[in-house]
Chains A and B, each alone.
Chain A
């Protein structure tokens, strides 16, 4: 019991990185398998979040604040990307009348 309590008082750093890897893989899965433009876009946000977790875990490991500054920049870029991306999705929907990726095929053939 004492050993168990001691092992739960601190967590290996690799667990955080593995969680980040799992979330990133889930984001890749959503990006590749889903056929709805908005869901694909949300999968990208999930991937960015997973990368942020890695940055902050290494910031903890190295005892420096630089990783957190990078996570902050990722957040800013993600917010800008979301604004532009959703504007593009709105325009696509206005022109094509659908959100299905398969039906957005103007450049095909």
Chain B
């Protein structure tokens, strides 16, 4: 059952990811990215990360992607025009990219023993309670620093888009 779920949602995630990269219109890319994030949320849930899966759907697929879609529609973004550089990059880049992928897979196969297997329900310490305890005990200082980071980002976004009326 774990295997079937993994294969279905991994295939969905890769399909959505490919579409994010190959679609020419930004709005199609954004909608396919939401699909990729949703299927990744299912995989998180399968790995026992309940809280992160919920946060993935709410924060990423919800808030962040809504921001993206709003900006795309606000700017009335058009399909991109291929340029000379991008055509050359397609010929030169795809072999290099496959090289990167091969290197990553080689490291994974060398470092991860075949006996390490994932089974749904084998790890149940990913609830909101467990993550919250880790956040507010072990990682209290980093957590407080992220709140300052988010405040800075908020002020920065307002200052950057503020239009002076002089």
Residues of A whose CB lies within 8 Å of any CB of B are 7-19, 21-30, 32-36, 38-39, 41-43, 45-46, 49, 52-53, 56-57, 59-61, 63-66, 68-69, 71-73, 75-84, 86-91, 93, 99-100, 102
Contacts and interface: CB of A to CB of B under 8 A. Distances in A.
A107 to B, nearest CB: 17
Contact of A43 (B2, B21, B47, B161): B21
B157 A46 contact: no
Given A17-B108, A25-B104, A69-B134, A32 B89 contact: yes
Contacts of B94: 29
A77 B149 contact: yes
A65 B33 contact: no
Given A33-B21, A61-B116, A14 B97 contact: no
A86 B71 contact: yes
Contacts of A75: 52, 55-56, 59-60
B17 A26 contact: yes
A47 to B, nearest CB: 10
Interface SS majority for chain A = helix
A42 B71 CA distance: 12
Contacts of B134: 65-66, 68-69
A93 to B, nearest CB: 5
Contacts of A89: 71, 75
Contact of B14 (A8, A23, A63): A23
Nearest to A38: B26
Contact of A68 (B26, B51, B158): B51
A5 B108 CA distance: 25
A62 to B, nearest CB: 9
Given A16-B47, A30-B20, A87-B160, A22 B2 contact: no
Contacts of B104: 21, 24-25
Given A42-B30, A77-B149, A35 B86 contact: yes
Given A16-B43, A46-B20, A80 B153 contact: yes
Interface in B111-147: 112, 114, 116-119, 122-123, 125-126, 130-131, 134-135, 138-139, 142, 146
